[in-house]
Amino acid sequence: MRYFVKGLILVFLFSSLHFGSIDFVMNKFGARPVGQGGAYIARAVGPDAIFYNWAKLPELENQYFKLDSGQYLETNFYAFTYQNLLDNPHLRLGYFTAGIHDIFETELNDGGQPVDTGRRFSNTQHQLFTSYQKTYYGTDIGLRAGVFYEKLYTSSGHAFTLDLGFYRGWEFQNWTTSSGFVFKNLGQSNLTWDSGHQDALPGVIGFGQTVGLFEERLFLSLDLEKESDWTKLRLYSGFEYWLTGSEKTTPSMAVRGGYKNKDITLGLGMNLGGVILDYSYVHRLYSFLDSEHVFSIGYSLHPFKTTKYEDRILAQVDDNIFNYSKEKPQEPDSNLLAEMHFKLVDSIQTQYWVEQFYGTLHINKLVLEGSDKVITRFPINIRLFPENSNEVALISVEKTSGGFMILSGFMPEDTQLMVNEVVVPVNKFDHSVFYKLEVNSVENIDIILFKDEFRP
């Protein structure tokens, strides 16, 4: 009897032309996002972001694809997502399919009782998404187009949707925070059946907020969503905690948990040499339907850095990192404090790598090793703590809308700053520095910190 009742509910949900389609389009999918309660509008990391907030520029600059498999309402579903499509970081692709097969067809007999006709039918749904994003004045903006197709028995229907997303990130002291807005089905498009009948699909407004704590080991997220024809908000909240490593290192492992609109979720994720494995479990609090399990496997071509340090912010460097010659190991010149290189990516981003440094170095969030190539946003905040010194070198790099790069900061005593082979004068009274560089005339910026008696 229990399974008979479930079957009736599933048939009703998926055969209902209106609510079945809504349920398909608006639900939360992907093992990683579901593991943290589906609160992913402001997190939006990885290929799954196309289902949540397609506006965010990917954190991993290389191609990354993922396959998800699980159950929703005890119906199997599959999803394929692709990030950095054709090596273009602005493009994403997503495909989702689900369905119920071998549904018993019944008809009423003379006594008004349903009897099995012996025939079976199916209800299947498919949706294909593609998105494009750009960054304007520090805000990521993304446009997503979707094609929806549903087949029920011998009838079929289709719809086209257009969605808009926004993402903005900030840094405050040791905290990172980000916000996201999404607007789904902007034109209030209809589901059109081959019979000519149309059913209205609702628009959806979503807002998300994420905060990164403990040097970005812990992320807390909250999402709110409301449909145009619903009066009640849907709430999603969750966390992701990195037990070891980070988003850009391997091996790494994260645990997750959350509250998904009346359901409790748990999740686990691992990165093993670029192979990303995720699992999520959904426990229903107010439903007799069984719990859900979602699995995903993905692969990224990103050159992940090997996890070597427990402290992901302070990178204490071994002197051996500077021994570039295997035949003649040499100690680094202690007069050279740091050598950094920046390559402009676009109007608000740059890719940087550190040739060498002596002491402890912070660049915005993280520097793991000198060979890392990391993409970060302007402004860039550089802090160097020279070894055997109580002072710190501070440099802030900002990019103006007029096409200039402004470098300003503070140099410890007897420390000099060189930018593209130009020694920047240090104020003798307060040890401040200021330098203005025309960005339109250069693509690469080299920054060297050295002691006064040393000239590279």
Q: Is the domain of 368 the same as that of 221? A: no
Q: Is the domain of 206 the same as that of 181? A: yes
Domain that holds residue 422: 319-451
- Percent of the residues in the chain that have a pLDDT greater than 90, as a whole number: 26
CB-based burial label for 446 (10 Å; 0-12, 13-18, 19+): middle
Give the CA distances from residue 409 to residues 6, 350, 359, in Å, rounded to whole numbers and listed in that order: 66, 19, 18
Q: Is the domain of 358 the same as that of 232? A: no
- Percent of the residues in the chain that have a pLDDT greater than 70, as a whole number: 81
Q: Is the domain of 421 the same as that of 279? A: no
Query: Does residue 312 belong to any structural domain of this protein?
Result: no
Tell me: pLDDT of 432 over 90.
Answer: no
pTM for the whole structure: 0.65
Query: Does residue 310 belong to any structural domain of this protein?
Result: no
Query: Does residue 50 belong to any structural domain of this protein?
Result: yes
Q: Is the sign of the CA dihedral 103, 107, 108, 109 positive or negative?
A: negative
Query: Does residue 313 belong to any structural domain of this protein?
Result: no
What does the angle CA 82 – CA 88 – CA 91 come to, to the nearest 5 degrees?
Answer: 50
Q: Residue 335: pLDDT band by 50, 70, 90 thresholds?
A: confident
Q: Is the domain of 398 the same as that of 273? A: no
Q: Is the domain of 219 the same as that of 290? A: yes
Tell me: pLDDT of 369 over 70.
Answer: no
Q: State the Cα–Cα distance between residues 37 and 18, nearest whole angstrom.
A: 25
Q: Is the domain of 165 the same as that of 114? A: yes
Q: Residue 106: pLDDT band by 50, 70, 90 thresholds?
A: confident
Q: State the Cα–Cα distance between residues 220 and 279, nearest whole angstrom.
A: 19
CB-based burial label for 22 (10 Å; 0-12, 13-18, 19+): buried
Tell me: pLDDT of 331 over 60.
Answer: no
- What is the reported pLDDT for 54? 94
* Mean pLDDT along residues 173-197: 86
Q: Is the domain of 356 the same as that of 219? A: no
Q: Classify residue 113 by its DSSP letter.
A: -
Q: State the Cα–Cα distance between residues 269 and 296, nearest whole angstrom.
A: 9
* Mean pLDDT along residues 285-290: 71
Last residue of a domain, one of 252, 281, 305: 305
Last residue of a domain, one of 305, 332, 349: 305
Last residue of a domain, one of 305, 340, 370: 305
Query: Does residue 433 belong to any structural domain of this protein?
Result: yes
What's the number of domains the chain is made of? 2
Each residue's pLDDT tens digit, 126-176: 899 999 999 888 899 999 999 989 888 788 888 999 999 999 987 766 678
Q: Residue 4: pLDDT band by 50, 70, 90 thresholds?
A: very low
* Mean pLDDT along residues 255-280: 93
Q: At a CB cut-off of 8 Å and minimum separation 6, what does 275 contact?
A: 297, 298, 299
Each residue's pLDDT tens digit, 9-64: 343 333 333 344 445 555 678 899 999 999 999 999 999 999 999 999 887 767 89
Query: Does residue 379 belong to any structural domain of this protein?
Result: yes
- What is the reported pLDDT for 72? 67
Pick from 113-127, 308-322, 375-389: least confident: 308-322
Q: Is the domain of 289 the same as that of 409? A: no
Q: Which of 89-93, 116-120, 254-258: highest mean pLDDT?
A: 254-258
Query: Does residue 103 belong to any structural domain of this protein?
Result: yes
Q: Is the domain of 296 the same as that of 413? A: no
Q: Is the domain of 151 the same as that of 127? A: yes
